Chain A
């Protein structure tokens, strides 16, 4: 019995350590978190900014006038709040966050 418990302990310890050491994945299909998307070039950044402005006007502008830009950490909270309140899509939310923090 003691051997069984020891083996079980060792397996659980290994499994839990491996799980904890695995960094959180930010895949496209599991993108509920709110990180500003990263542009790989200035051209891509410009395109994302244009897209972000369009999404901002289409989503946020439906209800209220454009606010001044807030610091990125505040914008991250506001955008998360609006994602829930206004049921904004994940992609729109990310592009709006990029536009509002650049």
Chain B
């Protein structure tokens, strides 16, 4: 017995520990030395942290009730080394109304953390994301939502279906299949979270899309499986076309889920080719959108919580954007909503501004 203890529990054991420490030590050295090695990218091209985002002030008149909506949405981008990026977006949005139609405006300021994620660009085919991220369902949530980007200020009726934020892990990427076709994909798993500002549902899903750079056509499908409550499925389809010859942007989405289904089709036309009043018209964009929502298997309270109409609804939207300067846009829109609760007019007018500030030395432009 003593022999066994001596052999396996005494000197050889200590030697094993010592050898293990050495292995760990020498595995760490290269990593530390690599971290100290100057980046091969020249100093003036190395990415710098940025504080960007948008701010806006909109006035909405919905069925005769006026609402003032100031908002600011800061986005922090923190690149680390060659392959890492920390990105975060918060949203602060006021919704101020007159109580009883008279008196001073008052209301609440909503605060949301839309995403707080760590991205690792593994290679040209794959980026790994962990943390809180925008749920990749359709294209509106991830790409068109910021107020300086969207062509019409009111979001589509089906916007709440399948979108929002998720907490978990996502794999995504985009690459060329051949010179005429690019493929992009995103697949994710989200865990249930009830933490304040980090609420998320337990979900799994994905999106795959094809982009044809020549005719500038993009199409894709999204799928989502709820892993809690009704364990419902959601399905989406998106299409976008930006013909090279005409300054038109056509976009469309269709979604179907337990909470409802519907579609929107939008066309935005920049008046840059109109031969008169060039100075003003090249900065002007007119927009039209048609949309329909079919109410789902949810009650009135749930529908209100999700921001969905609880009855079948049709809506037409018309808008006008004037791009005053880079990042500053004036917008106005009119919408007519038809449903069994009563038809209403919705007006919006306001300004949206995009800012970008370096958080470090950038050198000459």
Contacts and interface: CB of A to CB of B under 8 A. Distances in A.
A91 B176 contact: yes
Interface residues of A, number: 55
B326 A33 contact: no
Contacts, number: 168
Interface residue tally on B, bucketed by range: 35 or more
Interface string B335-365: 0000000000000000000101010111111
B213 A90 contact: no
Query: Interface on chain A toward B: helix, strand, loop, or mixed SS?
Result: helix
A55 B216 CA distance: 10
A80 B79 contact: yes
A77 B50 contact: yes
B45 A72 contact: yes
Contacts of A92: 182
Nearest to B50: A77
Given A34-B47, A76-B47, A80-B79, A20 B37 contact: yes
A32 B120 CA distance: 9
A84 B85 contact: yes
Interface in A48-102: 54-55, 57-58, 61-65, 67-74, 76-78, 80-81, 83-92, 101
Interface string B80-99: 00110101000000000000
A83 B240 CA distance: 19
B191 interface: no
Contact of B22 (A9, A57, A61, A90): A9
Contacts of B361: 73
Interface string A1-21: 100010011001101110110
Given A33-B82, A67-B326, A70-B356, A87 B185 contact: yes
Given A31-B124, A78-B77, A87 B172 contact: yes
Contacts of A101: 45
A40 interface: no
Contact of B144 (A24, A33, A63): A63
B40 to A, nearest CB: 6
B108 interface: no
A12 B46 CA distance: 33
Given A24-B37, A33-B83, A63 B149 contact: yes
Contact of B143 (A5, A63, A68, A80): A63
Given A84-B87, A91-B176, 19 more contacts: A5-B19, A20-B30, A24-B82, A29-B123, A32-B122, A62-B143, A67-B354, A70-B356, A70-B365, A72-B363, A73-B360, A73-B363, A77-B47, A77-B48, A78-B52, A81-B87, A83-B127, A89-B124, A89-B176
Interface of A: 1, 5, 8-9, 12-13, 15-17, 19-20, 23-24, 26, 29-36, 54-55, 57-58, 61-65, 67-74, 76-78, 80-81, 83-92, 101
19 contacts: A5-B22, A9-B26, A17-B29, A32-B123, A35-B45, A54-B213, A62-B242, A67-B326, A73-B360, A74-B356, A76-B41, A76-B48, A78-B50, A81-B85, A84-B121, A86-B174, A89-B182, A90-B175, A91-B176
Interface of B: 11-12, 15, 18-19, 22-23, 26-27, 29-30, 33-34, 37, 40-41, 44-50, 52, 77, 79, 82-83, 85, 87, 119, 121-124, 127, 129, 142-144, 148-149, 172-176, 182, 184-186, 209, 213, 216, 218, 240, 242, 244, 249, 323, 326-327, 354, 356, 358, 360-365
The 6 closest A-B pairs by CB, nearest first: A87-B174, A33-B82, A20-B33, A12-B26, A87-B184, A76-B47
